[in-house]
Amino acid sequence: MLALLVFEVFFSKRAWCRYACPIGLTYGVVGILSPLRIKYTLDDCFHESDCRKVCLVPHVLDTVIKGSAIHTEVPIGPDCTSCGLCIDTCPTGSLKFEVKGLSKLM
């Protein structure tokens, strides 16, 4: 237990949830395989973080923190449950649902 705590604190944020917990692992697999995902567009964002306040898994929205996004369009990671609460809350439409592979065709 102590080793897990040390690993969690110093090496990997949410390691238990991502790699060992059966529920977190299932969310990750479903997130990778799911054709539906949430995409973040940096140009439209005001960085008010309302989306992170309502998110059930707020660490997946770390990219919306001002200065965190490397690219102008970023898909949200597989840990996201795709519940859509962040999309409903975003006043600028910076977060949107996307079907993998279809955005390049449009």
How do residues 4-50 score in pLDDT, each as one tens digit? 778 777 877 666 666 677 776 677 777 778 888 899 999 889 988 89
pLDDT score at 51: 93
The pLDDT of 72-79, averaged and rounded, is 85
Considering the domain boundaries, does residue 10 fall inside one?
Answer: yes
Neighbours of 101 (CB within 10 A): 8
The answer, yes or no, to whether residue 85 has pLDDT greater than 50, is yes
Considering the domain boundaries, does residue 106 fall inside one?
Answer: no
Long-range contact set of residues 47-52: C-beta below 8 Å, sequence gap at least 24: 48/91, 50/89, 50/90, 50/91, 51/85, 51/86, 51/87, 51/89, 51/90, 51/95, 52/86
Note the pTM of the prediction, 2 decimals: 0.69
CA angle 16, 79, 43 (to 5 degrees): 135
User: Structurally, how many domains does the chain consist of?
Assistant: 1
CATH number at residue 19: 3.30.70.20
Query: How many Å apart are CA 27 and CA 46, to the nearest integer?
Result: 29
User: By residue range, what is the domain housing residue 46?
Assistant: 2-99
Considering the domain boundaries, does residue 104 fall inside one?
Answer: no
The residue that leads in pLDDT, 80 or 1, is 80
Considering the domain boundaries, does residue 105 fall inside one?
Answer: no
pLDDT score at 106: 47
